[in-house]
Structures are given as C-alpha cells and as structure tokens.
Structure 1
Amino acid sequence: MGLTEGRWAKTIWDNPAEIIRTLTPENPVMVFAPTVLQAAARRFHEGFPGLVTYAVKSNPDEAVIRTLTAAGIKGFDVASPYEIDLIGRLAPSAARHYHNPVRAQAEIAHAVEAGIRAWSVDSRSELEKLFARVPAEDCEISPRFKLPVLGAAYDFGSKFGSSPELAAELLRAVAERGYIPSLTFHPGTQCNDPAAWESYIRMAAEICEAAGVKVRRLNVGGGFPSHRVGGIEPDLTAIFDRIGQTTAEAFGPDTPALVCEPGRGLCADAFSLIARVKAVRDGANVFLNDGVYGALTELPQIGNLDRLQVFSPEGTLREQEPQPRAIFGPTCDSLDRLPGEMALPADIQEGDYVIFHGAGAYSLVTNTHFNGFGQMAQLTVKSLL
C-alpha cells in the first residue's frame, strides 16, 4: 500500500481539522458524524408526538440509513422504485411510505410487488391509477393538499398538492372504495414557522369535515429545518409542540395518529463539506473546488450555508475579521456561483479549506461530474468541530 493510500485508510477521524492537517485533500471531502445523526433521531423521537419517518431522497447513503435504523427510525418515505428496494434491503422490517404523488404505471406495479401499503395522491387521474392497480385491503391512501407558502425557503405546492376542495373529494373516494383514508401535506422546505403547521392541520380538520371522513393518520410532512445560519438554531421543540396542540384542538375526539417525514431536519447537520480554495483572484473573489454542480447544488434555491470555518493547510483556524466575498465553484460555467456574497476571513489564502457545516441534505445525492469535477471522498469523524 502506498503512502497516500495508507493515510486515507484510517476508519474514523477526530474532526475535519485533523483530516485537513493529515491529508491536505485536493478534492472535496464530505465528512459524516454518526453521533450527530443519532442525536437528531433522538430529538425527533422525544419531541414529535407520533411516528418519525425519514425522507430517503435527502441523503440515501447506506451509512445514513443504517445509522437511523439503529437509532430507532422505523419508517421511511420512499419516492422511487430505487428507494423502495434500498430500504427493503437495508431495513426490511421498516414501513415504507410511497408519497411521491405522481407515478408511472410500471412504478405502481413495482411498488405493489414490493408490498407497499401507504400511498399519497393529489389528483383524480392519479387516484384512478391507484384504484386500478393497488389492492384495497390494508392499504392507506393519503390525499395531499396545499396552502399558500408560509415561512419556508421555497414552495413545494408549486408542483404537488391539491386544493382543499379537491382533497375532500379524493378523501371521500378513498374511503368509499375501502382503502384506509388518511391525509398528508408538506409546508415547504426549511420551514421555521410553527404557524405553517398549524394552518395546515386546521385545514386538514376542515377537509375531513367536508368529506365526512375520519382519517386514520395525518402526515405533517417534512420541511423541518436544519441549522443553516450561524447563531440561529431552529426551535424544533416549538414546532413539535404546536403540531401536537393544534391537532388535539382541531380534531378533538377524532384526533388521527401523527406521522412526520423529515429529510433535511434529520440528516443535514450530521455532515460537513470540506472544500479547498483554488484561488483568491486579485485578493477578492474566492474560487473553490466545489460549487453548485457539486455538493452545493441547492444553495442558489434556498440560500447559503453560512456556518463556515476556514482552515489553513496546517489545520489552523483563520480568525481575522470576515469580509464579504463572491464565491465561485470550479467549473467553466458562470452560473457556478453561490448566491450573493459570504463573509470569509480577511486572511483567507489559496490552498486554504472552507468547511460548510450542515451540508448533509441534497448534496451527496445531487453531486455531478460536470466539467470533469465532482470527485468527492467520504470520511467518518467523531466530531464536526
């Protein structure tokens, strides 16, 4: 084994700074702290008043799935045949909720064959496809509805979700055909406002009243925020409490069992991205070896991760007064730029490393190899700081 291979062969590192000092990696490195993911799972288990499931699409890495399963997560939101089979292999006893509301005929057939029992829907045409292929016995169908976006980074309702009026119609049809009637919604990604969940839950109760149907479960979706902004940690407890209180008030004796399906809220903070500075052009703009075609794909849509640290190649923290700078990725595409400007230490230099904390969601899974970049290592650490 060569020297370089031996240095990379270590199984668990202390923290990102040790990786920088020891390896001085030329390509991006995504570091994973299982203890942080375990703590996030405990926080949801202890705080959310119902079943906690994980949205696989946010980060389907096998280490993530195995860690969550060991931490007690017993359900997964699967959005494709690949994810259905992945969870069937890694967590065969877990519940799988197929809550992508638009599916091809072949995808429905695959899911039925795999034993999927929980589905969502947001249109008459898609509901008819389920009626034609999904056996009613012990199968749940949850109409998904939408409201105007409130307190989220972007609006999922622009693509998915029916009007409340249509949701009541769909719910009534589900019950009449002998399926288990439930409801679901998604308040939008990175939603920090508990009032968003309250509005949706109260509307869910109105939908049930309009349909004349008592629902078995209410899935309050994902949208739970991760810690993206320095010094402002999301108040998940306030969100959990509002969900429980509002459900009891809105439904009274007909209160349904609650389900949530966080993706970002579970996995994001368990990962940090180490990117190297390729250049500081004329002392101003910073060019990194990763960008919006890599692990930072979603930043132009929902805003920057500003929980940053900058280290020298020796692993020393840069601590000079931060200055606003434009940050570009490595490709030849001018779109490869993080939004706005970000505050970086005045003494940042070529060869330094920028660590983006909270980078575990929609990063590994969206990383591309455009323009010949995108080679990314994955390492495990005891701590991210």
Structure 2
Amino acid sequence: MSHDLNNLLAPRPSERPDLWPWSARHDGTELSLGKVSATQLVQSYGSPLYVLDEADLHGRANVWATVMAEEFWDGYGMGGGSAYYAAKALMSGRVIELVTSAGMGVDTASLGELTLALRAGADPDLVGLHGNNKSDEELRLAVSAGTRGIARIVVDSIGEVERVARIASELGRRARVMIRVTTGVHAGGHEFIATAHEDQKFGLSLASGMALEAARKIAAHDSLEFMGLHAHIGSQIRDLEAFAESASRLLSLAKQLADEGVVCHELDLGGGYAITYTGADPQPLAPKDIARTLAGAVREACEKFDLKVPHVSVEPGRSVIGPAVVTLYRMGTVKDVPIEGGSRLYVSVDGGMSDNIRPALYEAKYTALLANRVSDAPLCLARVVGKHCESGDVVVSDVALPGDIHEGDVLAVPATGAYGHSMSSNYNMLTRPGTLGVGMGEPHWLIYPEKLEDLFARDAALNTAELVEEK
C-alpha cells in the first residue's frame, strides 16, 4: 500500500482558506484562531475543544441571505428569495442570534430545536418545523407561536395534515403548511441520479400522487393555509443540475395545483451544499453561483408551465456552520504499527467518536494539522484515533504528520461545525466538549463543557435522598 504523503498533508489556512474559518492564521510557528494561538486556547479552556469563529458564521449566513434576496428580487420578475439555517447542523442560543441577525430564518426539526430558536429570539415568521413524526406538543408550539404561528410546518404525511388541521382548529389559528415532496431526484457527492428514490422515511411521493392528495386535503381545511412545496435531495452536493431537475418536478406539481385553483406561494429547494473537508476536495460552489443557477432553473420551469415565479427558499446548514468550527485535541499515545508495505503512526487524542461520530458513521473524511509548532521531521503516514473502547473510533483515517509528534502536542481538525456537537455523545462516559466563540472580542463560551457531575446527575442510583442529603 503506497501513499503520496504530500497529498495527505493538511493545508494551512493561507493555502486552502475554504477549509478554515476566516480568522484562522498560521504564522510559520503555530495556528491561531480569532487571534489566539491554539496552544493558548487549549491551555486556557481545555480539550477537546470546539472553536467557533463567530465573525465567520455571521458572514457566511449574511452571504446566503443576501444572494437569495438579490437573485430572486421581485424587480427581476421573481417572487423573492430567502435562506433558512438548518439548525440541526449546530444549534445554540448564540448561533441562532448570529444567523438571524445576518438575515437568515431558522429551520428546526424537534421540540427542543423549535423551543431554543424561539427563546433565542428568532422571529416566528422566519421559523420552520420539519420532521417525519412530529408530536402533538411540537405542533401545538408551532401553531401557537407568535401572532400567526411559525412561518411553515412542513408536513410529511397525509395523517399529519389532519393532525395539524385539528390542532390549529382547537387553538383558533390558521396554520401555515408546506408539503415535503419526494421528487425522485437524489444527489450526493459527485453522483446525480434522476430516477426514483422513493424508499425513504421522508416526504410524500410525487410519482404516486400522494403529494397531490396532501395538497388537496390542505386546501380543503379552513384551519390550514397552503404555502407551497419542499424537497431535499441529498448531502454534499456539487452538481446543481440535480436542484434544477428537482425544481422542475416540484413546479410540475405546482402547475397541477394551479389548474385546480390552489396556488403554490413558496418553493423550498432544501440544502445539502458541499463544503471542503480535506485538501483533496474541490473548491465548494459559491452561494452566489448557487442562487443564480437556481433562479435560472426556476424561471425556466415557470415559463414552461406558465406559472408566476413563487418565493424561493433554501436551507443551508453545513455550508454555513461547517467551516466556521475547528476542533482542538491534545495528543496522547503515539505508536508505530507495521502495515503492508510500511508502517502507520497511530496518534491517539483525548476525544474521538463522542465528539465527532461522522467518520465512524459515514466514513467521512477529515484532515488534521499539527497546531502548536512546526517540525522539520520527515512526514509519516498517520491515523488519528480517539480514546474510546471501539476499533472504529477514527478521527482522521489517513493524514501526513511529522514523525516527531508526541504526547502533549495540539492537533487541529478543521470543518467540524456541522454535526460534531449536534451528534456528540457520552460514550464511555466521556463528557462532551464545550464550544468556544472567537473572532468577535475575547474568547467566550457559547456552550459550556460538560462535567462528570452533569452525567452523574441523571443517574438515579447516585442521586437517592440519602446521597442528596450528604451532598
């Protein structure tokens, strides 16, 4: 097995700025984030540590909000455009403040996410609720929020239409709803398959007529207001033809509805826009180019079907938060392991799959940079692994690192903003790392790190009346 180690070397921020937060710098001696060295961040705040560049996040959110408003400006004969932050990628009160102040709405998918968004000050008129199995409690909050309820409840089944109608009627409200449609278009990575992709838990089938039936049922309820159609076609998408095809199929349904007197006011084309994870990845598509391509595709399809162009929205999450976060680890055990054709350096860090499950779950690829110093030592093929009792606990499967790395060194893994914290766990009773904000003043906690006491507080056997009294 042979590897070109130079191709496995993590690029510095100046070499691939798309991989790192805006404030990331390498001065030839060490990495800094928000003008604070990686060494100082770990010494002051501990590790593992998620470091979020707040200015980067706010800037990326503002770019998305701006390009959607510009490309779908009604002065161009369009119906307006907006961007909703897919909060499942990473959510906290401060994150919501940053993306909403930048002009984005918020897309939620649970009671917790919806509650947090509203408590953090998100305008209910710019909040959506997704989910294939929404509870009555979630729907009640969505319908009762603000003066009109949230902007849209994206219904996922025929049965949900009836449940939302009932709850809205009970609350004396008219709920605004959209339909999640499975269009038969699926995209991800470098693949584009414009064939049926119906075998999934989300959405109502376009091909079978279920989506049309749901729209008819919504139109028949006085307690429901039909807002439009939604589709999500995949993740890490680089081929915009897939979005154009999905938009065309959604608008073919909008045409059927228009012929029956039901107007589609909004078209939500979802998210899934690719970002950079390693130096081998191509440059990501610019939001401006994405919005312009979508605008052209929607305009063309509306002309084809003789429809007025609706309001168009998108739901970027990963592409907003992903590059804004870097995870810092302390290195522990380092050992050389013989493999076919050579050897591999196994570098253990003080976190792992509990703070980033994606490599184990999806075989996701990341890279890693020695952050606290530079080295002239020859490069070695390395694998960065976590400290969990699991052979699949891999942080970075293949990376080139200096051969003199040792215990106590700091390792930086970029592009961990999407789903690192959101999918973190307490496997092996490890505490989850905190998220530190930089780039807007002094470093400060956005999400506090867990302590062992936080874990034990939920253990009934450790919290009997006797133990509580002793404490």
Quickly name the TM-score band, shorter chain normalised. Answer: 0.7 to 0.9
SS at match of 1:189: strand
Structure 2 counterpart of 1:239: 290
Q: Aligned equivalents of 1:132 and 1:229: distance in 2? A: 49
SS at match of 2:293: helix
Cα 1:301–1:319 change in 2 (3 A) is: farther
In the TM superposition, residue 92 of structure 1 has moved relative to its aligned partner by 4.5
**In 1, are the aligned partners of 2:180 and 2:204 still within 8 Å (CA)?**
yes
In terms of mean alpha carbon deviation, does 242-251 or 329-338 score higher?
329-338
Q: Structure 1 length as normaliser, TM-score?
A: 0.85
Q: Say which of 304, 309, 312 aligns to 1:255.
A: 309
SS at match of 2:351: coil
Q: Aligned equivalents of 1:350 and 1:363: distance in 2? A: 24
Q: Aligned equivalents of 2:311 and 2:199: distance in 1? A: 24
CA RMSD of aligned residues (A): 2.8
Q: Aligned equivalents of 1:166 and 1:80: distance in 2? A: 24
For residues 352-378 of structure 1, give each alpha carbon's deviation from its aligned partner in whole angstroms, at most 9, with x where no partner exists: 222111111111222222213234233
Q: Aligned equivalents of 1:209 and 1:319: distance in 2? A: 64
For residues 278-317 of structure 1, give each alpha carbon's deviation from its aligned partner in whole angstroms, at most 9, with x where no partner exists: 11123621211121122x1123344445343113xxx213
**In 1, are the aligned partners of 2:65 and 2:102 still within 8 Å (CA)?**
no
Q: Say which of 352, 369, 378 aligns to 1:309.
A: 369
In the TM superposition, residue 103 of structure 1 has moved relative to its aligned partner by 0.9
If you compute each CA radius of gyration, which structure gives the higher value, 1 or 2? 2
Q: Aligned equivalents of 2:392 and 2:309: distance in 1? A: 48
For residues 156-187 of structure 1, give each alpha carbon's deviation from its aligned partner in whole angstroms, at most 9, with x where no partner exists: 97331221132122122222335224000112
Structure 1 counterpart of 2:200: 158
Matching of residue 129 in structure 1 with residue 190 in structure 2 = no
For residues 245-300 of structure 1, give each alpha carbon's deviation from its aligned partner in whole angstroms, at most 9, with x where no partner exists: 11111113421101112211111111110012211123621211121122x11233
Q: Say which of 346, 353, 359 aligns to 1:292.
A: 353
Matching of residue 266 in structure 1 with residue 356 in structure 2 = no
Structure 2 counterpart of 1:96: 127
Q: Aligned equivalents of 1:174 and 1:218: distance in 2? A: 16
In the TM superposition, residue 341 of structure 1 has moved relative to its aligned partner by 2.8
SS at match of 1:218: strand
Matching of residue 45 in structure 1 with residue 65 in structure 2 = yes
Structure 1 counterpart of 2:439: 382
In terms of mean alpha carbon deviation, does 244-253 or 366-375 score higher?
366-375
**In 2, are the aligned partners of 1:152 and 1:187 still within 8 Å (CA)?**
no
Cα 1:32–1:355 change in 2 (3 A) is: same
Tell me which protein shows more strand as a share of its residues.
Answer: 2
Q: Structure 2 length as normaliser, TM-score?
A: 0.71
Structure 2 counterpart of 1:19: 40
Q: Aligned equivalents of 1:251 and 1:299: distance in 2? A: 41
Structure 1 counterpart of 2:236: 190
Cα 1:34–1:140 change in 2 (3 A) is: same
Aligned pair count reads: 366
Structure 2 counterpart of 1:7: none
Matching of residue 83 in structure 1 with residue 113 in structure 2 = yes
For residues 100-141 of structure 1, give each alpha carbon's deviation from its aligned partner in whole angstroms, at most 9, with x where no partner exists: 242122322233233334111232122222222224965322
Q: Aligned equivalents of 2:199 and 2:299: distance in 1? A: 25
Residue type of the partner of 1:124?
A: I
- What percentage of residue pairs aligned between the two structures are identical? 24
**In 1, are the aligned partners of 2:360 and 2:392 still within 8 Å (CA)?**
no
Q: Aligned equivalents of 2:263 and 2:37: distance in 1? A: 51
In the TM superposition, residue 340 of structure 1 has moved relative to its aligned partner by 4.2
Cα 1:157–1:76 change in 2 (3 A) is: farther
Cα 1:275–1:266 change in 2 (3 A) is: same
**In 1, are the aligned partners of 2:271 and 2:317 still within 8 Å (CA)?**
yes
Structure 1 counterpart of 2:154: 120
Structure 2 counterpart of 1:345: 402
Structure 1 counterpart of 2:178: 142
For residues 137-157 of structure 1, give each alpha carbon's deviation from its aligned partner in whole angstroms, at most 9, with x where no partner exists: 653221111224223499997
SS at match of 1:42: helix
Residue type of the partner of 1:166?
A: M
Q: Aligned equivalents of 1:250 and 1:300: distance in 2? A: 41
Residue type of the partner of 2:368?
A: L
Cα 1:110–1:26 change in 2 (3 A) is: closer
Structure 1 counterpart of 2:94: 63
Residue type of the partner of 1:174?
A: I
Q: Aligned equivalents of 2:379 and 2:233: distance in 1? A: 35
SS at match of 1:145: strand
Alignment gaps of 5+ in structure 2:
1-32, 73-80, 192-196, 338-344, 441-471
Q: Say which of 27, 31, 46 aligns to 2:51.
A: 31
Cα 1:182–1:355 change in 2 (3 A) is: same
SS at match of 2:232: coil
Cα 1:340–1:240 change in 2 (3 A) is: same
SS at match of 1:151: strand
Cα 1:244–1:143 change in 2 (3 A) is: same
Residue type of the partner of 2:431?
A: G
Residue type of the partner of 1:171?
A: A
In the TM superposition, residue 37 of structure 1 has moved relative to its aligned partner by 0.8
